[in-house]
Amino acid sequence: MRHSNTRLEHGPAGGPSVQAFAPGRVNLIGEHTDYNDGLCLPFAIERGVNVRAEPIRGGTIEAYALDLDERDRFQLGAEEPGEPGDWRCFVRGAAAELRRADIELGPCRLEIAGDVPRGSGLSSSAALSVSLCLALCAVAGAEPPERIALARLCARVENEWCGARTGLLDPLAALFGEAGQAVRIDMRGPRLQAVALDLGGHVLATLDSGAAHTLAGESGYNERREECAAACRELGIDSLRDATRTDGLPEPLGRRVRHVLSENERVDAAVAALAAGDLEALGRLLDASHRSLRDDYEVSVAEVERTVETCKRAGALGARIMGGGFGGSVLALFRPGAELPAGAVAVRPGPSARLAETI
Ligand code: GLA
């Protein structure tokens, strides 16, 4: 993450302006495992969020969300949380958490623009927090925290400032993605390992269900986290990674634990299927993941089920709900040359978050 400006612009305060980009992500498999110390297999995508920052005089941060045509302005050092789920929480949270990490920020103007649809399960929120952090550090001439620490900081922004108890999956994917590669993440550690995503001409595509999800506040997402914590208490363990049984647990806790344990196994089965070039097997794993998320974890909704069926009717080898659930996009795997259903967007692994050239 080197600052690679070839030509610098200067803000009203005389310092150079900077631009940071962070990608959204697709999670190939390994859903609702991150906050259970489990396994995931995401990749960064080419779409994401751009934040342009220029230094200004005074003591404030001014932010402008171009797509929404909305603004925010607050005093550096006196950040107040906004409405849960609102984009302003991310800006205030990023500034506050960076300062808490002893990074000295300066007053600046931020311009935010992105092409990851919000609420679509492609992690527009981690793309926003990661790009904000990189831009805020760079415009102040400060080194950002190293990438694992930065991922944790971004999760705190979302947990403590935006009301969503999300895990490390999304910021780690945004910070460690590589072109052509997925990354197997063992959240215990976390330990990361690049996995070549060689699809032999097969195509991964996302299709938006049209039902936008939210992870904040009284969401089903936060409720699932509570249920996992309750299951841990019943089993006398700290993390579902250490669960060895589902029997004897009251429902729905038994089903929730069964999903987490079987999904961890599917991640390594998917890594093996990729290594063997067995894309049919990968498709079956996506289907199995979907059934588990629908029946055991109960995070699907009617719109998502219709979208999965659309993909399967179009010949998908496998299709599943992706991300936090309760709406969002479906991920499907198609044979080489297949005609994608209307609205489906092919996705490929792209590079991680970075500072861009400002021209
Ligand atoms: C959302 C959260 C992640 C993860 C997924 C489900 O994307 O941000 O931390 O829990 O849901 O796998």
Query: How would you write the pLDDT of the chain (359 residues) with one tens digit per residue?
Result: 444 444 457 777 777 899 999 999 999 999 999 999 999 999 999 999 999 999 999 999 999 999 999 999 999 998 888 787 799 999 999 999 999 999 999 999 999 999 887 777 899 999 999 999 999 999 999 999 999 999 999 999 999 999 888 999 999 999 999 999 999 999 999 999 999 999 999 999 999 999 887 766 668 888 999 999 999 999 999 999 999 999 899 999 999 999 999 999 999 999 999 999 999 999 999 999 999 999 999 999 999 999 999 999 999 999 999 999 999 999 999 999 999 999 999 999 999 999 985 54
Q: Are 347 and 179 in contact (CB under 8 A)?
A: no
CA of 300 to the centre of ligand 1 (A): 14
- If you ran DSSP here, which 8-state letter would residue 89 be given? H
pLDDT of residue 358: 53
Q: Are 123 and 174 in contact (CB under 8 A)?
A: yes
- DSSP 3-state of 154: helix
Strand order in the sheet with 191-196: 39-40, 181-186, 191-196
Task: Give the residue numbers annotated as catalytic, written as ranges.
Answer: 170
Please name the helix (run of DSSP H) or strand (run of DSSP E) that holds residue 134, with its range, or none. helix 124-139
Fill in the amino acid letter for 184.
R
Give the Cβ contact number of residue 247 at 10 Å.
Answer: 7
Strand order in the sheet with 203-208: 318-321, 329-334, 203-208, 345-346
Q: Alpha-carbon distance 54 to 194, whole Å? A: 35
Token pair for 335: 């044979």
Beta carbon of 263 within 6 Å of any ligand 1 atom: no
Q: Alpha-carbon distance 131 to 126, whole Å? A: 8
Beta carbon of 32 within 6 Å of any ligand 1 atom: yes
Q: Are 300 and 293 in contact (CB under 8 A)?
A: yes
The residue behind tokens 């629908």 is 294
Q: Which atom of ligand 1 is nearest to the CA of 125?
A: 8
Q: Which atom of ligand 1 is nearest to the CA of 126?
A: 8
**Which residue from 228, 253, 265, 346 is spatially nearest to 29, judged by alpha carbons?**
265
pLDDT of residue 351: 95
Q: Closest residue (by CA) to atom 10 of ligand 1?
A: 32
Find out whether the peptide bond into 250 is cis, omega within 30 degrees of 0.
Answer: no
pTM for the structure as a whole:
0.94
Q: Alpha-carbon distance 317 to 122, whole Å? A: 21
Q: Which atom of ligand 1 is nearest to the CA of 158?
A: 8
Beta carbon of 123 within 6 Å of any ligand 1 atom: yes
Best of 130, 170, 322 for a ligand 1 pocket test (most atoms within 8 Å of beta carbon): 170
Residue 172, by phi and psi: left (phi above 0), alpha (psi -120 to 50) or beta? Answer: alpha
Q: Alpha-carbon distance 255 to 246, whole Å? A: 7
Give residues with Cβ within 8 angstroms of 309, minimum separation 6: none
pLDDT of residue 4: 45
Q: What is the pLDDT of residues 18-76, one digit of tens each?
A: 999 999 999 999 999 999 999 999 999 999 999 999 999 999 999 999 999 999 999 99
